[in-house]
């Protein structure tokens, strides 16, 4: 069994219990007090100077914050070139591990926002002392089971009196480093804002903003390349959080939040602090969209919520409300288009009729796809449209009468077509002359007329000495509507009414 090391502080000696492989901190117990402590061991050969170790201990011991590790002792072992910082025992795991253990290896938006707010609050007293952390990263943050954070690693702090440190001292934190540090520029509060934003990006996506296999590539990306949008990794991100990340990760420090107070005030103005979780935020966004008749936005939001919370009752309730509003909207759209279709039909604007039919088909397809109505509703409207299409054949097609005996065809070429039999003397002008048909003598000189009425043909009887029939029924002066294939009888002459579809579209004159 491996013997556990011991660490000597200024007040007492601590015996190690176990090492946290995640953070690298030792859990140790004081020989005299018996209290637990988290011990950070710094080896001088790693590039850390003794003065920096004690400076860190001094800084942390002077600052009181529930989000910062509290220093209780520090010491050294000159023989082994080791320096020790003793902190109150930290309970939990590193943020890096917490994200790795989470579903999909990323945190919920609420958890990420909650931790980000704590990081900002941890930096507030630090920045008040004109101290810049410069080394915020997931492994430097311990998260308790209650999601309370402790920022414990201050090994790279920059004070007004400190000397600019070399780049080799920034190992393990490159991916979360602000671009100005890569360029050798001075650190400022906006530098820590960038790193905090990079940690927020990591919590939301499971990835650092930039990843590379070597330092030069990473440095180039940090200074010249924009990170992939958070929405590229998850499409359920809400707009304010996405805007928050973008603002924090601006290349130029002047374009970021200039202080922790600025960032927290912006979050409050966006009401991010008021929502217990993202579900509540999205539901409030949906209700707001419905109040302002922004139905498309509401539909997009509820679609994302239903994917994230498929069995949630609150989501189902709001989804039902959005569905009802969508149903009402589509019903009104159908009625409006149909009313304009009827007007175009009355005005004989047949090209507009065709357009309205296409619009109705599109809307009815949307209704069917979204399951907004039952089959009876759809069938009723499809029947109506089919009737309009049959009428439209009158305009789009070539209508004519055909003799089943002689096979002669008599096209209807005018809006009013007079049918009869020409005689040698005293004949009326005729559009359809049946004098060549058998039993033509039973046809009057002006026997009937066929009139286009909007999108239908109507047959009117004119003769006073003979009959006109359709399907065996007598026709009077008031007329009847002709259907495709109807058998028409003038006296004893029988003709069949036909409509032949024309593939060319009607003109405006039609």
Find the CATH number of the domain harbouring 41: 3.30.200.20
Same domain, 388 and 409: no
- Which residue among 395, 416, 449 closes a domain? 395
Instruction: Looking at the structure, tell me whether residues 118 and 138 fall in a common domain.
Output: yes
Number of domains within the chain: 4
Pair (389, 488) in one structural domain? no
Contacts with 403 (C-beta within 8 Å, 6 or more apart), sequence order: 409, 410, 437, 493, 494, 495, 496
Comparing CA positions, the residue from 216, 212, 244, 214 lying closest to residue 229 is: 244
**Is the residue at 284 inside a domain?**
no
Residues in Cβ contact with 439 at an 8 Å cutoff, skipping those fewer than 6 apart:
491, 492, 493
> Is residue 294, in this structure, part of any structural domain at all?
no
Q: Tell me how far the alpha carbon of residue 139 is from its chain's centroid.
A: 33
Query: 456-461 and 6-8 as β-strands: parallel, antiparallel, unpaired?
Result: unpaired
Of 378, 395, 412, the one marking the end of a domain is 395
H/E element, 301: helix 295-308
Q: Same domain, yes or no, for 174 and 244?
A: yes
pTM score, two decimals? Answer: 0.55
Tell me if 407 is assigned to some domain: yes
Give the pLDDT score at 42. Answer: 78
Q: How far apart are CA 365 and CA 321, in angstroms?
A: 21
Instruction: Please tell me the distance from the alpha carbon of residue 510 to that of residue 498, in angstroms, as a whole number.
Output: 19
Q: What is the CATH number of the domain that holds 145?
A: 1.10.510.10
Q: What pLDDT was estimated at residue 227?
A: 92
d(CA 8, CA 27): 14
Q: Where does a domain end: 357, 374, 395?
A: 395
Within a domain: residue 308?
no
Instruction: Find residue 395's DSSP bridge partners.
Output: none
Number of helices (H), then strands (E), belonging to the chain: the values are: 14, 20
Bridge partners, 86 (sequence order)? 39, 73
Secondary structure element (H or E) that encloses residue 401, with its range: strand 398-402
| 305, 299 Cβ separation under 8 angstroms | no
Regarding whether 428 and 450 lie in a shared domain, the answer is yes
Same domain, 194 and 161: yes
**Residues in the chain, pLDDT under 50:** 46, 156-172, 274-276, 503-510
- The confidence score (pLDDT) of residue 11 equals 82
| 492 and 432 within one domain | yes
So what's the pLDDT on residue 103?
Answer: 73
Work out the angle at residue 194's Cα, subtended by the Cα atoms of residues 192 and 196, and round it to the nearest 5 degrees. 70
Rounded CA gap, 194 and 176, in Å? Answer: 8
Domain contains 285: no
Does a structural domain hold residue 58? Answer: yes
Closest CA relative to residue 114, chosen from 146, 152, 151: 146
* Spatial CA neighbour of 412 closest among 452, 385, 370: 452
Asked whether residue 281 is assigned to any structural domain, the reply reads: no
DSSP 8-class letter at 206: S
Range of the domain at 73: 6-88
- What b/e readout covers 95-109, taking b as 16+ CB neighbours within 10 angstroms? bbbbbeeeeeebbbb
Same domain, 199 and 71: no
CB 498 within 8 A of CB 399: yes
CATH of the domain at 417: 2.60.200.20
d(C-alpha 379, C-alpha 381), whole Å:
5
For residue 170, give Cα distances in angstroms to 46, 204, 216, 350. 11, 24, 14, 75
CA 49 and chain centroid, separation: 51
Nearest by Cα to 392 from 510, 487, 479? 510
> Does one domain contain both 365 and 464?
no
Are 170 and 107 found together in one domain?
yes
488 inside domain: yes
Same domain (yes/no): 390, 464: no
Taking the C-alpha atoms of residue 288 and residue 251, their distance in angstroms, rounded to an integer, is 34
What does the pLDDT read at residue 2? 62
Asked if 65 and 173 sit in the same domain, the reply is no
**Which pLDDT belongs to residue 173?**
55
């Amino acid at each position: 069994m491996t013997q556990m090391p011991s660490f000597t502080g200024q007040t007492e000696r601590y015996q190690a219990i176990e090492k946290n492989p995640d953070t690298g901190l030792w859990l140790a117990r004081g020989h005299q007090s018996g209290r637990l402590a988290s011990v950070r061991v710094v080896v001088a050969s790693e590039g850390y100077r003794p003065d920096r170790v004690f400076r860190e201990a001094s800084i942390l011991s002077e600052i009181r914050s529930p989000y910062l590790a509290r220093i209780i002792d520090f010491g050294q072992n000159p023989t082994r070139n080791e320096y020790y910082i003793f902190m109150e025992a930290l309970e939990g795991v590193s943020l890096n591990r917490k994200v790795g253990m989470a579903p999909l290896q990323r945190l919920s938006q609420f958890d990420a926002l909650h931790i980000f707010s704590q990081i900002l609050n941890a930096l507030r007293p630090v920045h008040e002392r004109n101290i810049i952390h410069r080394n915020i990263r997931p492994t430097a943050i311990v998260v308790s089971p209650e999601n309370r954070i402790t920022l414990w690693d201050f090994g790279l702090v920059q004070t007004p009196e400190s000397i600019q440190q070399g780049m080799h001292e920034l190992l393990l934190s490159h991916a979360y480093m602000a671009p100005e540090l890569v360029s050798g520029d001075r650190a400022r509060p906006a530098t820590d804002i960038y790193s905090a934003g990079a940690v927020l990006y990591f919590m939301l996506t499971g990835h650092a903003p930039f990843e590379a296999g070597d330092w030069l590539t990473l440095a180039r990306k940090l200074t010249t390349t924009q990170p992939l949008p958070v929405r590229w990794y998850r499409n359920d991100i809400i707009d304010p959080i996405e805007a928050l990340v973008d603002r924090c990760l601006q290349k130029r420090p002047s374009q970021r939040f200039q202080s922790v107070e600025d960032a927290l005030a912006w979050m409050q103005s966006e009401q991010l602090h008021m929502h217990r979780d993202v579900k509540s935020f999205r539901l409030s966004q949906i209700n707001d969209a419905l109040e302002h008749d922004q139905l498309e936005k509401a539909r997009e939001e509820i679609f994302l919520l239903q994917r994230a919370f498929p069995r949630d009752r609150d989501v189902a309730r709001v989804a039902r409300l959005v569905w009802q509003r969508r149903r009402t909207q589509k019903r009104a759209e159908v009625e409006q288009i149909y009313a304009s279709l009827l007007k175009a039909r009355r005005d004989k604007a047949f090209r507009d009729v065709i357009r309205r039919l296409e619009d109705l088909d599109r809307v009815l397809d949307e209704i069917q796809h979204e399951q907004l109505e039952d089959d009876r509703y759809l069938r009723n409207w499809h029947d109506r449209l089919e009737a309009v299409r049959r009428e439209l054949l009158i305009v789009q097609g070539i209508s004519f009468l055909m003799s089943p005996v002689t096979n002669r065809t008599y096209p209807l070429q005018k809006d009013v077509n007079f049918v009869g039999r020409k005689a040698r003397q005293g004949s009326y002008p005729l559009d359809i002359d049946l004098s060549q048909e058998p039993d033509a003598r039973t046809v009057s000189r002006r026997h009937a007329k066929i009139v286009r009425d909007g999108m239908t043909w109507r047959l009117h009887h004119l003769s006073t000495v003979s009959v006109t029939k359709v399907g065996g029924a007598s026709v009077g002066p008031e007329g009847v509507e002709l259907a495709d294939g109807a058998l028409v009888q003038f006296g004893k002459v029988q003709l069949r009414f036909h409509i032949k579809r024309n593939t060319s579209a009607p003109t405006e004159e039609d």
